[in-house]
Structure 1
Amino acid sequence: MMDSSSEYVFFNAQELKELESCYEKGGLGRFADKIVQKINNLSNIELHIAVTGESGTGKSTFINSMRGLRSKDKDGAKTGTTETTMEPTPYKHPSFPKVCFWDLPGVGTLKFPVKDYLNKMQFDRYEYFIIISRGRFTENDANLAKEIKSMGKKFYFVRTQIDNDLRSLEMEGISFDRNTELERIRNYSTEGLKEAGISNPIIFLISSFQVNEFDFPKLKETLADNLDDIKKDVFLMSLPSTTLKIVKQKENHLRKRIWMLAIVSGTVGAVPIPGLSFSLDLGILVTAIIEFRTCLGLDDASLQRLANVTKKRVEFLKAELKTPLVGEINEDVLKRILIGSAFFGISAAEMALDLVPIVGSIFGSVSSFGMTYKLLSNALNELVVNAQNVVKVAFDIDCNHP
């Protein structure tokens, strides 16, 4: 019935076999119960990321940037030049609290020698470590990386405030080629780490204030790609929608949730909807649409944070929203939208003509599944277009150069 295609990123091979067995033994009801269990489990996945480095390197600014915040925002990490962090300090994502960045004290101080550092910082809690430096990475940074590697965890070197380095050259009136200068800075940092015993270090050059410049996009992509499928999904959803590529990645992952929601709606809570020729669970649709728009950064809080960071008026960004799905949404509102839409007025039988259920032909005759699948796909399409338009105006992105 099921294969191991990329559609099933939330299930391992064993879980797929169990799903098939559930259907064979208990029918759609038991199959759907398993899907509900998986959806609930996904909502409880936690992701903890450690950020360490000496004082003044930009740890707090980086943590804020990854969460789409500024230091003066309510949940922002406060910035400064003195080391005030003596214990791991958690900073949860404002929209996805299961994603947490931890600001760790600088390694190598008298209070935190390298040999004791990982134990005191509760090493096992973190998915990976981001080691930040303002200039040349220190021997302490290299020794920490060695310890992390010996324990089977991943680490990434991040060189911050690259924009300030280039700006200083401009203010001095020094003529330079940007790419050549960036390569010089990279080589300088690389040499320091090699001297300290790190072979072939990979270093990301970033500015936490220019989130689409330098190596910042590459860093985010690397952080996501080195997580398993489920945690990658969690991480991607938490990223501020700053590029069209990020929006596309979010769309791809959200689309892989739709079949699960359609099964639940079509087999567990489906009820007839007056005025429509099919049955479904409006509550599931409402919840899914709200989740889609939060993940894509189209909720009010996300739009306000984006406006703050980009220094654009939030009303300017909201002017790009051309869908009723970003307004007040509840079961009554959604019902009116469905009834008033020519697209949604298509019969379930017609809809089945262009729907190939990804979980097998058993759902071909379940009109509620097919209709819910199509409704959510259409809703996601519409929200993605709006998210792309917001990103374009927020970051002045040329449509031909995403």
Structure 2
Amino acid sequence: MGGSSSRDQTAETSNSTFFTEDEVRNLKSEYETGGMEKAKLLIQRKINDLENTELNIAVTGESGAGKSTFINAVRGLNKDDEGAAQTGTTEGTMEPTGYRHPTLPNVCLWDLPGMGTIKFPANKYLKQIKFEKYDFFIIISGCRFTENDVKLAKEIKRLEKNFYFVRSKIDNDLHAMRMEGGDFNEEEELEKIRNYCNRNLQEAGIQSPRIFLISSIDLNRYDFNLLNKALEGDLPSIKKSIYILSLPNLNLEIVERKKKELKKRVWMLASLSGVVGAVPVPGVSLGCDIAILIRGIIGFRKCMGLDDASLQRLATMAGKPVGDLKAVVNSPLVGKLTPVLMNRLAWGTTAIFISGLEIALDIIPVVGSIFGAGSSFLITYKLLTGALDDLTVNAKRVVTAAFGTD
């Protein structure tokens, strides 16, 4: 029983802070022996990992399968936006082409040429594409998965990479069926398509294929959310967090998942503030680092899609005037962030500083106890937590105004 509890606590610590058990012990040891600068370096290194770790997503399939449209959709871009992948080209992708995420440039989606073309025949394709570069593969088909798709999947599996089959253009298929007239049941038709894809792949030698039915025109429908959850479940901690934060705000669930990921970063920024100006509780000083606060809130704001560029992209995706989305945003944190504003918020926080100590230490697993006695830590923690709550509320208002749905 005791061993299980210890494992649970370790898992919670790792999941909540991105630190391994060894890193937590090292951090505590450095701090307790007076090595605040070393502790600061350990935390800063982990923050840098979160900001700079690359996530490379490979998207492949035959020409015309909808790869470019999918790549644009998951980045929240319209085909005419700057940086959008070209759609509707007849020659298809001739070289692996990377498309950076508009707000998280360390996330890159790669449009890979289809296997079996003149330039990339099947027997050379596997050697020419650098598989080790990509974190996982999405194999897209607009109709049925081909022999080349299966060959590719088997090679990816051999190299111990994850792959997912995406059947695109589902909205087109269902529209055509409706136009034929007669009885039409969307759920039954979707199940038929899913079963057909499953049978097609199993007959070709892929056991238990993971298949997701997608419309890149309307990601809120069909299996896009299921695809996201499958990807998240397979990615390691930091890359999972990066992937979640890269998603467009299509629904309230995505906003809530983003909040959960960003909450894990709050204590690290607060701890960084704590080691910069650690002050014991009796002094209750506003020793928090204003630059850390501003940096954190700007990052939260972008991830929550509340900067001007993100609001414009979401408005275009939803087919709404951007003014309608901006009209529901009500927060001083979406404007210019200044030291004066941060200090005003901080002084308001001191009124509940002491009473919040026990609660804060309860919420922050293990590592919080390292800096929990410092007012700089607690004030920064409470300010960033309040800012994240505020931005989440506003992001949800924007999503509701854009899509009018959960």
Partner of 2:359: helix, strand, or coil? coil
What number of residue pairs does the alignment pair up?
391
What does 1:293-372 align with in structure 2 at a 5 Å threshold?
293-339=301-347, 341=348, 344-346=349-351, 348-356=353-361, 357-358=364-365, 359-372=367-380
- Specify which of 107, 112, 117 is matched with residue 99 of structure 1: 107
CA displacement 1:260-295 (0-9 Å, x = unmatched): 111111221579xxxx95221111001100101111
Q: Percent identity?
A: 52
In structure 2, how many angstroms separate the alpha carbons of the residues matched to 1:240 and 1:325? Answer: 20
Give the SS at the match of 2:115. Answer: coil
Deviation readout 1:304-361 (Å, 9 max, x if unpaired): 000011111111011111111111112233224445x5xx251532332532253254
How far 1:78 sits from its partner (Å)? Answer: 1.0
Letter of the 2:200 partner, please give it: G
- Higher relative helix content: 2
Contact 1:277/1:347 (8 A) holds in 2? no
Which residue matches 1:222? 230
Which amino acid is the alignment partner of residue 136 of structure 2? Y
RMSD: 2.0
Q: Which runs of 5+ in 1 are unaligned?
A: none
> Contact between 1:278 and 1:348, CA under 8 Å: does it hold in 2?
no
Q: Is the Cα–Cα contact under 8 Å of residues 139 and 193 in structure 1 kept in the other structure?
A: no
Q: Which residue of 2 aligns with 1:179?
A: 187
TM-score, normalising length from structure 1?
0.92
After superposing the two structures, state which structure 1 stretch, 281-290 or 163-172, moved more: 163-172
Q: Which runs of 4+ in 1 moved over 4 A?
A: none
- 1: CA distance between counterparts of 2:123 and 2:24? 43
Q: Specify which of 2, 5, 14 is matched with residue 8 of structure 1.
A: 14
Q: How far apart are 1:142 and its partner, in Å? A: 0.7
Q: Deviations over 1:32-51 (max 9, x none)?
A: 22111211222110010100
Distance 2:298 2:97 in 1: 30
1:149 aligns to 2:154 (yes or no) = no
Going from structure 1 to structure 2, the CA distance change for 1:119 and 1:332 (only over 3 Å counts) comes to farther
Displacement of 1:7: 4.2
Inter-partner Cα distance in structure 2 for 1:83 and 1:106? 11
Does the 8 Å CA contact 2:278/2:377 hold for their aligned counterparts? no
1:257 maps to 2:265: yes
Change (3 A) 1:91 1:199: same
CA 1:202–1:37 in structure 2 vs 1: closer, same or farther (change >3 Å)? Answer: closer
User: Could you tell me how far apart the structure 2 residues matched to 1:131 and 1:362 are?
Assistant: 46
CA offset digits 1:157-191 (Å, max 9, x no partner): 00001001111112222321111100111111122
1:162 maps onto 2:170 in alignment: yes
1:40-51 to structure 2, matched below 5 A, reads 40-51=48-59
Partner of 1:245: 253
Matches of 1:187 and 1:34, distance apart in 2: 50
Give the secondary structure class of the aligned counterpart of 1:355: helix
Partners of 1:19 and 1:83 in 2: CA distance: 54
Structure 1 residue 6 displacement after superposition: 2.6
Amino acid at match of 1:267: V
Residue in structure 1 matched with residue 136 of structure 2 by the alignment? 128
| Secondary structure of the structure 2 residue equivalent to 1:110 | coil
Deviation at 1:115, TM superposition (A): 3.1
CA distance in 1, matches of 2:135, 2:346: 42
Long gaps (5+) in structure 2: 1-6
